[in-house]
Structure 1
Amino acid sequence: MALAHSNSIRGEVTIRHLSKTYTLNGKPLSVLKDFNLTIRSGESLAIVGASGSGKTTLLRILAGLEAADSGEVLIDGRRIRGVGTERAVIFQEPRLLPWLTVIDNIAFGLETRGLSRDEARFIARRYVELVGLKGFETAYPRQLSGGMAQRVGIARALAVQPEILLLDEPLGALDAMTKIGMQQELARIWKEEDVTTVLVTHDLEEAIFLADRILILPREKGGEPRLIDIDLPRPRDRSASGFVRQREQLLGLFGLH
């Protein structure tokens, strides 16, 4: 299956003939088969689908954390082989270092790339402000709420200025009100940062709120992936008629009417 293509050159992801099969109870289980897709530079792509459809597997392959059985992934025309500095990953749990403060957690990745502590902290301060944590620079992870901790994880990932940001259910563990607030924050942050984003989520409304396009992965054997364009103005209003229609369309595709 071939999906849309673009000629952009920074942060463009090209997936060619990707296949991945696991063994479950002694039987092969194919989660990706001859999969092709281009993720445009600077776009926000959400990946949705039932459990077992291959969402997280695809994200882990893009991150270089898992190898495909066949096929290739290219970033700006270069084939990836394992993890790379042009990609950053945000998981459902922020995975902060408990012995470091907010500012030092954000600066950590910069220091591992060779910046001095002062240089790293100077850059980290910008991202503290970007994610709305000014005043909490010296707090430790144990002193943060779940939403605040996830903000630190987002800031840490963005501070290294990746071309591609990969997010695996980053808001899945938050309560409903915090989650909506963080979705609004993500929309604001992505508007300010020139970064291609790939978001795995089970939340269809979240996908509509954040994404330029939504990739629906089928669970049924032999089913075809689908791409849905989200042509809604930003910032998005969940109560607007266009948003509601888009949500109804997605629910219908999943047979949830």
Structure 2
Amino acid sequence: MTMVAHQASRGDAVAIRGLSKSFTLGGKTLPVLRDLNLGIRAGESLAIVGPSGCGKTTLLRVLAGLEQPDAGQVLIDGHPVRGVGTERAIIFQEPRLLPWLTVLGNVSFGLEARGVPKAKAEAEARHHIRLVGLAPFENALPGQLSGGMAQRVGIARALTVQPKILLLDEPLGALDAMTRMTMQDELARLWQEQQATMILVTHDLEEAIFLADRVLVMPREKGGVPRLIDIDLPRPRDRSEARFVAMRRRLMAEFGLH
């Protein structure tokens, strides 16, 4: 069955065309994505939700160039993705910081690796460290940071390279509830300031509604068709507002929850 969520158009920043991906386990081939077609607009925030094993993270890894599809292709600004690229940055659930580098060293690392002079890289890094509220901790080592602070470092590191496309794989999943809401506020603010295209994988339906312009609901059953749901709510969003609560109920209904 063809998975058509939203047919890609010429103006899309990301165009997914006929994308299929499977894995082999115990001698059996397990399809994860099957003929997926999707267009993601420049500057859009898209959340991808669905049950475990439905292909959310696989799709994100293909977009990042970390996995190759079996069939189909991904186009970024009309150019095929053939591997990782400087126009994309990915944030994982674990910050994956280099333990021997300070906050400043971790955030400037990507720019220095690309040949940016150290002074300029550190100036850019300090700017983004301030944006995520960690200026007093730029000389701290990762082991001296809380989980929320470490994730802020990971976000600053990704933003410092000024990606056109920001990919997030459950970036707040390991945080406590209060820290998670604070970080959701930060991500919403940073996304609007940076004007990047943001693609977020999450299990948290409220997080998807809070951050996304559209939500891609991956099907529970193999061969099912993904659904795209517009989140037509004003920003900044209020989690207790009646329309927000109604949208949460609608997403829960997609999964048979009440």
* TM-score, normalised with respect to structure 2: 0.97
- Once the two structures are TM-superposed, the CA of residue 222 in structure 1 deviates from its matched residue by 1.9
Mapped to 1, the partners of 2:53 and 2:169 lie a distance apart of 14
- Once the two structures are TM-superposed, the CA of residue 21 in structure 1 deviates from its matched residue by 1.2
Q: CA RMSD in A?
A: 1.0
Secondary structure at the counterpart of residue 16 of structure 1: strand
Work out whether residues 5 and 40 of structure 1, in 8 Å CA contact, stay in contact via their aligned partners in 2.
Answer: no
1:80 maps to: 81
1:190 maps to: 191
Mapped to 2, the partners of 1:252 and 1:157 lie a distance apart of 34
Mapped to 1, the partners of 2:9 and 2:238 lie a distance apart of 28
Code of the residue aligned with 2:122 in structure 1: it is R
- Once the two structures are TM-superposed, the CA of residue 28 in structure 1 deviates from its matched residue by 1.7
2:147 maps to: 146
Mapped to 1, the partners of 2:97 and 2:255 lie a distance apart of 35
- Once the two structures are TM-superposed, the CA of residue 49 in structure 1 deviates from its matched residue by 0.4
- Once the two structures are TM-superposed, the CA of residue 26 in structure 1 deviates from its matched residue by 2.1
1:46 maps to: 47
- Once the two structures are TM-superposed, the CA of residue 4 in structure 1 deviates from its matched residue by 4.7
2:21 maps to: 20
Secondary structure at the counterpart of residue 153 of structure 1: helix
2:62 maps to: 61
Secondary structure at the counterpart of residue 135 of structure 2: coil
- Once the two structures are TM-superposed, the CA of residue 6 in structure 1 deviates from its matched residue by 4.9
Once the two structures are superposed, the pairs formed by residues 94-133 of structure 1 within 5 Å of their partners are: 94-133=95-134
Q: Deviations over 1:134-161 (max 9, x none)?
A: 1111111011100000000000001001
* TM-score, normalised with respect to structure 1: 0.97
1:245 maps to: 246
Q: Deviations over 1:39-87 (max 9, x none)?
A: 1100000000000100000000000000100000000000010111110
Identity among equivalent pairs (%): 69
Unmatched 5+ stretches in structure 2: none
Q: Deviations over 1:228-255 (max 9, x none)?
A: 0000000000000000000000011100
1:93 maps to: 94
- Once the two structures are TM-superposed, the CA of residue 16 in structure 1 deviates from its matched residue by 0.3
Mapped to 2, the partners of 1:143 and 1:59 lie a distance apart of 30
Aligned pairs, number = 255
Secondary structure at the counterpart of residue 239 of structure 1: coil
Work out whether residues 92 and 170 of structure 2, in 8 Å CA contact, stay in contact via their aligned partners in 1.
Answer: yes
Work out whether residues 213 and 230 of structure 2, in 8 Å CA contact, stay in contact via their aligned partners in 1.
Answer: yes
Secondary structure at the counterpart of residue 21 of structure 2: strand
Mapped to 1, the partners of 2:181 and 2:57 lie a distance apart of 22
Mapped to 2, the partners of 1:160 and 1:228 lie a distance apart of 31
- Once the two structures are TM-superposed, the CA of residue 125 in structure 1 deviates from its matched residue by 0.9
Mapped to 1, the partners of 2:240 and 2:10 lie a distance apart of 35
Mapped to 2, the partners of 1:27 and 1:80 lie a distance apart of 28
Mapped to 1, the partners of 2:78 and 2:8 lie a distance apart of 13
Q: Deviations over 1:196-252 (max 9, x none)?
A: 010000000000000000001113022100000000000000000000000000011
- Once the two structures are TM-superposed, the CA of residue 25 in structure 1 deviates from its matched residue by 2.6
Mapped to 1, the partners of 2:116 and 2:188 lie a distance apart of 29
Mapped to 1, the partners of 2:7 and 2:212 lie a distance apart of 16
1:202 maps to: 203
Mapped to 1, the partners of 2:146 and 2:50 lie a distance apart of 29
Work out whether residues 8 and 17 of structure 2, in 8 Å CA contact, stay in contact via their aligned partners in 1.
Answer: no
